Amino acid sequence: MADLMPEAFSITAGAAGCSLTLSLHPQQVKIELVNEVKFLGIVIDDLLNWKKELAALDSSISSACYALRTLRDEVSVEHLKMSAQRKQDTVREIVTAWHMSPHNGSQQMDGAVEAGPESAQSVESPPEPKVQLKDLDDLLPYVGDFGWYQRMLFVLMIPYAFFFAFVYFGQIFMTVVPEEHWCFVPELGNFTVEERRHLSIPLVDNKYDKCSVYDVNWEEVIKNGVREPNPGWQVKKCESQWEYNYTDVPYETIASQLGWVCDRDSYAATSQAIFFCGGIIGGLLFGWIADKYGRIPALIGANMAGFAGGLATAFTNSFWSFCVCRFIVGMAYDNCFIIMYIVVLEYVGPKWRTFVANMSIAAYFTFAACLLPWIALGVNNWQIYTLIISVPLVLAVLTPLVVPESARWLISQGKIDEAIKIIQKCSRINRKKIPDEVVKEFRETAKAIAKAEEELKNYSVIDLIRTPRLRRHTLLLIIIWMSIAMVFDGHVRNVGSLGLDMFTTFTVATFTEFPADVLLILTLDIVGRRWLAFGTMALSGIFSLLATTAPIGVPTASLAIVGRFAVNISFNIGMQYAAELLPTVVRAQGVALIHMCGYVATILTPYIVYTYVRERAASTTNDTGTTFDSQRHTDIAAPAQEKRREYAQILE
């Protein structure tokens, strides 16, 4: 073979009067081609070994790999392998042709060059790669990122955001107690309110005592015509019922109706804590239903729990019956909205998710929450108010008619055809056409996703503590979320102790959710999660501490509202940040665990606020007793007829 092979040959190509001649040594060409083949073989082996190593990496690294694989412009390992294989095949064809025609090598090479650009393109240009869809997000550009279908879902979030606000904040205006109250003496029922209070209630720190009454025979006092109390009379705790000054809270609540004051003033905090206990059970129950039977059944079930518990609440007449009903309502928190929130975000393109996620809270949830105190004031009856905010939740039974099931859940259950039908309906409404090859590719991708979902079942929450890095991340996320949840809920519960009208203060403080969410939409992707969360948490902490030292009234309310504004931003970052940091294989379980820890923190919040209010009230009484004494004497000196007119509308 070597004897027959020429020592050198020339390749000549020419066009438009120009020519190019190359002199090549055949043995050198052969060696170079063989070396190239060997090199490409080594590259392929390295790629295959790399692929095996990727499969064996720790679960924390798998999360990063998953994120990289989902990048549309990222070149996959398989694509590199195919490209290298094509190059290797091309080289092999050239070498084979060389060996088969040793005497006509120059002519064959000339033919390859003279064949024209069409032939060169057929050798050098690889075929167009087929569409690669790694998950549902890759399909959304073909469907429409935020078309009419997604806008319809965005609007359908309105009732669920209202339900969430009603469930979460509604109890505040059922259990609020007027600031002024005192013991009611039935025997003095024919006296005016001021006469009755002056005669029967002892003074403590120059104020009428809220929980004590003179222990005397009132029939004899009336018979003897006594109109001034005797400082030597015995004092006892109030055992019957109370009267209230309804100036600050102009309607009867269940707390004032059942006398949740004095020794029972912690009942409101306890009932609120029991509400959050219901949230823990509801989170576990409806989370299981969502995974087992679908998101829509879980969404309906959560809202039905809120409806049933709220309806029953309106007819309770004891502390424990009220607590049982609020526990049932608590099961709806916050699944009555968050499930809908998750489903909608699945169908929205990634670039629109920050907008939809935050604007649904900023617009819908905020408006509903701001509306609550004025509903309570408008109806002036806690039972009617409870019915108004509870009965609408029954509309959730219509959910299957207007809201699609989660496509991701359908795929995870192997119901790929149903998921594709929903996607195709979405594309029709958006006036888009999904190519058949894309649908076919997505079907294969969905099968792979369903198989991967089965493998994920082998992971549990325990995997969150298997590696030092994951342990650190999980612990920090739990602490951060518990802190955010506690501070946020503390600001919500504390509006009644800021020294201003609680209904107006609640509205203003709640409205800060809107600018907070708008600011978040504009800055989140620029500043980043970590620093924005850290900065707003620090800001909220500083202003919250300052609010505890400022005088009651406008100063403390202003500082508290700024603190509320900052924690609103932290709250909305919190759960999104957790979902992004945790590995894919344990993300859902990890987020659920962190969410549950937030529930535990909020169980403590009502008691923290209750303790703070009592301590601050005690210190205020000691510091301003003389001022109150002066005011009380002025009130008592007013004509009785004028007092009767004043209290006729505000006292029992």
Tens digit of each residue's pLDDT (9 = 90 or more) over 251-284: 999 999 999 998 899 999 999 999 999 999 998 8
- pLDDT of 3 reads 46
**What whole-number distance in Å separates Cα of residue 628 and Cα of residue 613?**
19
Please, are residues 533 and 570 in contact by the beta-carbon 8 Å criterion? Answer: yes
pTM (2 d.p.): 0.73
* Confidence grade of residue 111 (pLDDT, cut at 50, 70, 90): very low
Q: For 120-129, 430-439, 468-477, 599-608, which range has the lowest pLDDT when averaged over its residues?
A: 120-129
Over residues 471-496, mean pLDDT: 90
pLDDT at 136 over 90: no
- pLDDT of 139 reads 86
**What whole-number distance in Å separates Cα of residue 182 and Cα of residue 521?**
50
Over residues 532-553, mean pLDDT: 91
- pLDDT of 558 reads 93
Whether 131-176+258-456 shares its CATH topology with 459-610 is answered yes
* Confidence grade of residue 113 (pLDDT, cut at 50, 70, 90): very low
Over residues 285-307, mean pLDDT: 92
Residue 256: other Cβ atoms inside 10 A: 23
DSSP string for residues in 588-630? HHHHHHHHHHHHHHHHHHHHHHHHHHHHHHHHHHHHSHHHHHH
- pLDDT of 116 reads 45
- Among the listed residues 169, 141, 126, 388, the one whose alpha carbon sits nearest the alpha carbon of residue 272: 169
Centroid of chain to Cα 504: 26
CATH superfamily of this structure's domain 459-610: MFS general substrate transporter like domains (1.20.1250.20)
Cα-based angle 591, 592, 594 (whole degrees, multiple of 5)? 65
- Among the listed residues 343, 342, 425, 347, the one whose alpha carbon sits nearest the alpha carbon of residue 150: 347
What kind and span of H or E run contains 424?
helix 416-429
**What whole-number distance in Å separates Cα of residue 431 and Cα of residue 143?**
9
Over residues 558-573, mean pLDDT: 92
Query: 10 or 498: which carries more pLDDT confidence?
Result: 498
The listed CATH number (1.20.1250.20, 1.20.1600.10, 3.30.2350.10, 1.10.8.100) that belongs to domain 131-176+258-456: 1.20.1250.20
* Confidence grade of residue 631 (pLDDT, cut at 50, 70, 90): very low
Peptide bond just before 489 cis, omega within 30 deg = no
Domain ranges of the chain: 9-129, 131-176+258-456, 181-257+626-647, 459-610
Q: What's the token pair of residue 569?
A: 């931003």
**What whole-number distance in Å separates Cα of residue 299 and Cα of residue 338?**
9
